[in-house]
Amino acid sequence: MARIPIALQLYSVREDCKQDLPGTLAKVKAMGYEGVEFAGFYDYPAAEIKKMLDDQGLKVAGSHTGWALLQPDKLNETIEYNQAIGNKYIILPGVPEAMRNTKEACLKLAEFLNGVAEKLQPFGMYTGYHNHHAEMKPMPPEVGGPLTPWEVIMGNTKPEVVGQLDIGHCMRGGADPIAMLKRFPGRAKTVHVKEFDPADETKEVGEGIVPWADVFAVCESAVGGTEWYIVEHERYARPPIECVEICIKNLKKMGK
């Protein structure tokens, strides 16, 4: 399989982006990242975002897009904006607890994602769902357990709906990321490369207990079908911009 490029989820350096988005993108590119995933656009028009990306030679690996922007009254606008910046992955980053804490709620969420996927299909675009730790914990038996919310959502969405597995959150929730990748083959088009260590949540990628070699082996096989590794770092022992540089340096040491 061809080498998988590495992007940065800009939420990792959100304060830097708020202060100076063009300058932050330049730093991200200089570190060796090939793309970025957005978590908001800081009030910039799409044309300006596109120019910033082109100026740095960065690609778009996706955008985390809130529930409200995927509703019928906003979806066309969301599609237009993402088309203009060259993004095909519009990922729902999470929902309130009541929308995913029972099997019934998860089935409704899956139905919603299927509907969005159908509307995006003519544009060559995809929606998907990003997990936090809660989606990886088994539900109580009376509301759908022992299945996890992730299993219900992914098990009832179309193959076109991306399951953006966050490796660190998966392990934080007590699940096995290798098993989850294998359970839903071809769904992990983009994967969040996030470290996990129960003793120190500030550790950068490569310095915790995630079995990265095994994760990469699945992602880089036909089972994973992964197109982007997306670094995300949210708990900091040093300035965020330094943390994400350590992450990519460690990935390069691992041969990525």
What are the pLDDT digits (tens) for 157-169? 999 999 999 999 9
In a domain, 150, yes or no: yes
> Which residue is listed with tokens 């994760």?
215
15: domain CATH number is: 3.20.20.150
Is residue 1 in some structural domain? no
Q: Average pLDDT in the 5-10 region?
A: 98
Reported as a pLDDT band with limits 50, 70 and 90, residue 2 is confident
Residue 64 structural domain: 6-253
Give the mean pLDDT of 27-43: 98
The answer on pLDDT for 113 being more than 80 is yes
The pLDDT > 70 percentage for the chain reads 100
* CA-atom Rg of the chain in angstroms: 17
Which tokens sit at 114?
């299927």
**Model confidence over 206-239: pLDDT tens digits?**
999 999 999 999 999 999 999 999 999 999 999 9
Q: To the nearest whole number, what is the mean pLDDT of the chain?
A: 97
Strand partners, 183: none
**Mean pLDDT confidence for 31-41:** 98
- Residue whose tokens read 């980053």: 93
- pLDDT surpasses 70 at 139: yes
Residue 19: pLDDT above 70? yes
How many independent structural domains does the chain possess? 1
Q: What is the pLDDT of residue 1?
A: 66
Q: Are 85 and 53 in contact (CB under 8 A)?
A: yes
* 144 falls within a domain: yes
Q: Grade residue 170 by pLDDT with cuts at 50, 70 and 90.
A: very high
Average pLDDT over residues 145-163: 97
Residue 121 has pLDDT above 70, yes or no: yes
Predicted confidence band of residue 124 (pLDDT cuts 50, 70, 90): very high
* Predicted confidence (pLDDT) at residue 172 exceeds the cutoff of 80: yes
| Residue 30 maps to a domain | yes
pLDDT of residue 96: 97
Question: Mean of the pLDDT values across residues 33-40?
Answer: 98
3-state DSSP helix/strand/coil percent for the chain, to nearest 5?
50, 15, 40
User: Measured on CA atoms in the order 85, 91, 93, 96, is the torsion positive or negative?
Assistant: positive
- Does 201 map to a domain? yes
In-domain check, residue 210: yes
Element (H, E) at 21: helix 21-31
Compute the average pLDDT of residues 161-183: 98
Q: Once rounded to an integer, what is the mean pLDDT over residues 140-166?
A: 97
